[in-house]
Amino acid sequence: MDMSERVPDAVARRLPWYYRTLRELEAEETQRVSSQALGRRMGLTASQIRQDINYFGGFGQQGYGYSVPRLRQCIEQILGLDRTHRIAIVGVGNIGSAIARYPEFHRDGFEMVALFDASEARIGNKIEGLEILPADQLKQWLLQNPVQILVLATPSEYAQEIAAEAVSAGVRAIWNFTPVDLSLPDTVEVSNVHLSDSLMALTFRLHEREIHSRSEKWIRE
Amino acid sequence: MDMSERVPDAVARRLPWYYRTLRELEAEETQRVSSQALGRRMGLTASQIRQDINYFGGFGQQGYGYSVPRLRQCIEQILGLDRTHRIAIVGVGNIGSAIARYPEFHRDGFEMVALFDASEARIGNKIEGLEILPADQLKQWLLQNPVQILVLATPSEYAQEIAAEAVSAGVRAIWNFTPVDLSLPDTVEVSNVHLSDSLMALTFRLHEREIHSRSEKWIRE
């Protein structure tokens, strides 16, 4: 992959999707896949697939398709999944504790190393064998135990402050589950999971369809 | 909003973000906001803001800015949040049960009406006062109790089957937390929350930065 420039967001977003699809193909013991077949499976055009894969380095042979294990392995490396990422979670309410228990993460080299919360009722409890530490020890702890990724699942009002604290302690990637748009230096990567936004986008589309079918009905009458 | 055509995804995705930002401004008792000020807050250009808002119907006055409560109310209607949406969850493992307990949904007119799971150990238990019903009763239940949105949080291998069953029972919107790309009729709206993808996009960006700083170092040496 030519990584001399920042890869466009659309391509970056498709990378995990390619990875997931190629793993499925591997599980089905498919050895080779054409851009057409991959496109059908992913709902993309063959030319879009070829363009993306050329972006990653390009290693199909004309008329012969791609080697599934080779392409999977290449994307795995591009995604950095061939190394271990240490993760800490701040805020172990509903969402934070669900993430702590999410079994899929262990598979891809993610290692949950610490949990933090500000609630007296939670501090000292254990999730998956890890003790919940007091949130006011976060910065000190991170300085002594660097992590690559911080999961932010606090109440909204603490999100910005906790994120800034983690960044000052060396964190360079934040997986943000709060509905807050964090304001952080450009050196920090943020991936947002705005759950309410995603639900509202769904109600919007439902509502939009309703209006369409109402106006179609009106036109027909 | 001109809803005679399907609104582009990029605009649809920004709608909940506008809504969220306008609610914050209302909470701060801001009455009017200019496209410049809104842009600064959201990290968009003023012209992008004006273009989006014109899309929604356009009701700024030149040099006078937008009425915060009026714009918020308009977007609330566009999002369909002025009505109640009934939601059922299938799969109340870590993620499903976290969603069932998520307090924010009650605020915006979402009503959790049923929980389903296939595990004997879970069936009959209660979450937030709702009893967990057997997953094999899903279709029958939905036919008698229509819901607008189905939350899909089953193990991957059941996702497609359960989704198709729900659709055959009248569901038209699926909020999909499984890593599966569902294959459903065009009449169904799907909003995906692919957690692993979102985490992998983060490791990709981390890895990409590392390569950049390595090559910059190399150039300097």
Per-residue model confidence (pLDDT) at position B216:
59
Query: Per the structure block, which two tokens stand in for A164?
Result: 């800034």
**From A12, A78, A206, residue closest to B80, measured CB to CB:** A206
pLDDT at A151: 97
pTM above 0.90, yes or no: no
Confidence of residue B221 (pLDDT cuts 50, 70, 90): very low
Are residues B183 and B160 in contact, defined by beta-carbon separation less than 8 angstroms? yes
Stretch among A100-104, A191-195, B13-17, B72-76 having the lowest mean pLDDT: A100-104
Give how far A147 is from chain B: nearest CA, Å: 12
DSSP per position, B18-50: HHHHHHHHHHTT--EE-HHHHHHHHT--HHHHH
CB B78 within 8 A of CB B93: no
- CB proximity under 8 Å: A 14-53 to B: 15-17, 19-20, 42-43
Bridge partners of residue B149, in order along the sequence: B87
Left, alpha or beta for B189 (phi > 0: left; psi -120 to 50: alpha)?
Answer: beta
Instruction: Provide mean pLDDT across the span A82-104.
Output: 91
DSSP 8-state symbol, A135: G
DSSP code for A185: -
DSSP class of residue A118 equals: S
Q: Residue A130 is which amino acid?
A: L
Q: Could you identify the residue written with the tokens 């949406």?
A: B85
Strand intervals (E) in B126-172: 126-127, 130-134, 149-152
The 10s digit of each residue's pLDDT in B162-196 is: 999 999 999 999 999 998 989 999 999 999 998 98
Question: Which positions in chain A touch B163 (Cβ < 8 Å)?
Answer: none
Query: A 98-137 residues with CB below 8 A of B?
Result: 98-99, 101-102, 104-105, 108, 110
Gap from B96 CA to chain A (nearest CA, Å): 9
CA separation for the pair A170, A160 (Å, rounded): 16
The four Cα atoms A208, A214, A215, A221 give a dihedral, to 10 degrees, of 170
pLDDT on residue B105: 73
Rg (C-alpha) for chain B, rounded Å, is 22
Which of B79, B196, B197 lies closest to A204 in CB terms?
B79
Hey, are the CB atoms on B20 and A105 less than 8 Å from each other?
no
Q: Quick check: A2 and A55 in contact, CB under 8 A?
A: yes
Contacts with B62 (C-beta within 8 Å, 6 or more apart), sequence order: none
Does residue A1 register a pLDDT over 50?
yes
Q: Are β-strands B130-134 and B110-117 bridged in parallel, bridged antiparallel, or unpaired? A: parallel
Mean pLDDT of chain A: 89
Distance from the Cα of A136 to chain B's closest Cα (Å) equals: 25
Separation CA A39–CA B12 (nearest Å): 25
Q: Tell me: the pLDDT tens digits for B51-100?
A: 888 877 766 666 688 999 999 999 998 898 888 999 999 999 999 999 99
Continuous segment of H or E residues that includes residue A48? helix A46-55
Split at pLDDT 50, 70, 90, the class of A221 is very low
Of chain B, the end-to-end C-alpha distance in Å amounts to 56
Which residues, other chains included, contact A98 with Cβ-Cβ below 8 Å and sequence gap of 6+?
Answer: B94, B95, B97, B98
Is B180 an interface residue toward A (CB < 8 Å)? Answer: no
Could you tell me whether strands B110-117 and A130-134 are parallel, antiparallel, or unpaired per DSSP bridges? unpaired
Q: Tell me which residue in B172, B202, B208 faces A206 most closely, judged by beta carbons.
A: B172
Nearest by CB: A196 against B16, B172, B211: B16
Q: What is the mean pLDDT of residues A133-156?
A: 96
For residue A141, how far is the Cα from the chain centroid?
Answer: 25
pLDDT of residue A102: 83
Q: What pLDDT was estimated at residue B65?
A: 86
CB contact under 8 A, B195 and A196: no
Q: A with B: how many residue pairs have Cβ under 8 Å apart?
A: 182
Three-state SS at A19: helix
Give the tens place of pLDDT for each residue, B94-153. Answer: 999 999 988 777 778 899 999 999 999 999 999 999 999 999 999 999 999 999 999 999
d(CA A203, CA B173) in angstroms, rounded, equals 8
A180 Cβ neighbours under 8 A, 6+ residues apart: A156, A159, A160
More confident residue, B55 or B41: B41
Residues A115, A92 contacting (CB under 8 angstroms):
yes
For residue B1, pLDDT over 70 is answered with no
pLDDT confidence of residue B196:
87
Per cent of chain B over pLDDT 90 is: 63
Cα separation, A3 vs A77, whole angstroms: 13
| Residues B199, A105: C-beta atoms closer than 8 Å | yes
A182-192: average pLDDT: 94
- Count of H-run helices and E-run strands, chain A: 9, 9
Quickly state the pLDDT bin for B154 (edges 50, 70, 90). very high
As a whole number of angstroms, the distance between CA B119 and CA A178 comes to 30
d(CA A198, CA B174): 11
Other CB atoms within 10 A of residue B67 CB: 16
In this prediction, residue A62 has a pLDDT band, given cuts at 50, 70 and 90, of: low
Question: Which residue in B180, B92, B77 sits closest to A200, CA to CA?
Answer: B77
Report the alpha-carbon distance of residue A13 to residue A20 in Å, rounded.
Answer: 12
